[in-house]
Amino acid sequence: MDSIIKCQREVLVINIGNELLDGLRENGHLLWLGEQLARRGLPITRSVVLRDDAAEISEEIKKSWGKYDLIVTTGGLGPTSDDQTRASIAKVLGLKLERVESAAKNLETLFTKIGRKVSPADLSQCTVLEGGESLSNPHGTAPGIFYCDGRTTLVMLPGPILELHPMYENEVIPRLCSIGCASDGEAYVQVRTFGIGAVPLEQIVRPLIIEGMALTFGTHTGIVDARITSGTSGACSKKLCEVAKSIRDAVGDDFVCTGHSCLATIVVEQLRSMEKTIALAESCTGGLLADSFTDIPGASKVFAGSAVCYSNDAKINILGISECLLAQHGAVSAECAEAMAAAATEKFGTDYALSVTGFAGPGGGTDENPVGTVFIGYATPTGVWSKKVFMHGDRGQVKLRAVNTALDWMRRHITKYGVEDCIRRS
């Protein structure tokens, strides 16, 4: 991370594909590339989404060449007639397309294995811009292209995510670093928080950054990230880390981590370090909390399972919640949340449990507990608690915020009392 790109480079990302503009597929490439490029000191200056149209692609390259230091394209490298990227760019730059024999041989070998004949259209993928380099694609049929003429560096990537990601990491980054276009380590530091809004966080962070550093914020489902880049200061990693530590100290309990770890990852790591286990009981989140755990490799060492009990009958028959409790307090209540969490530890034999019950909307809710009201239950080796929270947003947002709030509550508790819980349990 000590090698920081000090001069701000102009970066253009061109995502190509009719499906992106017709609403058939979400443009996840832009989100992913934006994150990855920023890590290397190459924040995107401009992005554009184009159809698989030769004229559109040609016009964009013509007006952008020489204006941007780096142009990254995604999509349009396949064998079908609508894959126009390679030929369109070659024509604009006045370059021939040269066949890459090694790529063609690999394609022929692959097709032989699956019992298919290679057509001229298939082999059209195995070409590279004159003077450029072919980027290996072991996960697909279309190699990428890397080309640099001293004015602009061009990277052409295939559309499928399973091909694009490894090609970027294994083929593109080493080349960008070798020509001094990208940092050979992360060019920023990110502080992740939960429980503090963007405005109060900025009031804390702004006075702590060094002149010339750039500060940006990102918010999503209760999480607020503060990202500090070297900006015009060319700050080394040591300075960035010093600023991050100052922010961490100032933010206090709202600090989650430095970096990109999700709340579930933090909780799993905490439980793993204590050699403790967790179970879940979910109602309104419908298994979303469990999903956040199963997204993490190795979570099975601490995560036993989840009971998704959406109806009252399920709460009674699966978790053993008292009919009297439900009749007296209702399913959306502190009493029910606590009973669900306690039952989860008993049913799964775990040290900890989280439960969630609430009104996600758009229907339901009462005057006392309107739509967006969520009760979270938390069972530990030393007791059972609950908390009432209110979530803004639509049904999906309420569920996501409820999951993050439950995880953050547990994160805070373990950070503060985890060792004490272990001692009392032993």
Boundary-marking domain end, from 178, 198, 231: 178
- Domain containing 37: what range? 11-178
Reduce the DSSP state of residue 64 to 3 states and report it. helix
pLDDT tens, N- to C-terminus, the chain (426 residues): 333 334 468 999 999 999 999 999 999 999 999 999 988 889 999 999 999 999 999 999 999 999 999 999 999 999 988 899 999 999 999 999 999 998 899 889 889 888 998 899 999 999 999 999 999 999 989 999 999 999 999 999 999 999 999 999 999 999 999 998 887 766 788 999 999 999 999 999 999 988 878 889 999 899 999 999 875 445 566 788 889 999 999 999 999 999 899 999 999 999 999 999 999 999 999 999 999 999 999 999 999 999 999 999 999 999 999 999 999 999 999 999 999 999 999 999 999 999 999 999 898 888 899 999 999 999 999 999 999 999 989 999 999 999 999 999 999 999 987 655 554 443
253 and 267 part of one domain: no
Buried b vs exposed e over 183-198: b needs ≥16 C-beta within 10 Å? bbebbbbbbbbbbbee
214 and 272 part of one domain: no
328 and 359 part of one domain: yes
CATH number at residue 24: 3.40.980.10
- Give the CA radius of gyration of the chain: 26
249 and 267 part of one domain: no
> Does any domain span residue 398?
yes
Name the domain count of the chain: 3
The Cα–Cα gap between 221 and 204 comes to: 21
User: Is residue 1 within 8 Å of 186, Cβ to Cβ?
Assistant: yes
359 and 394 part of one domain: yes
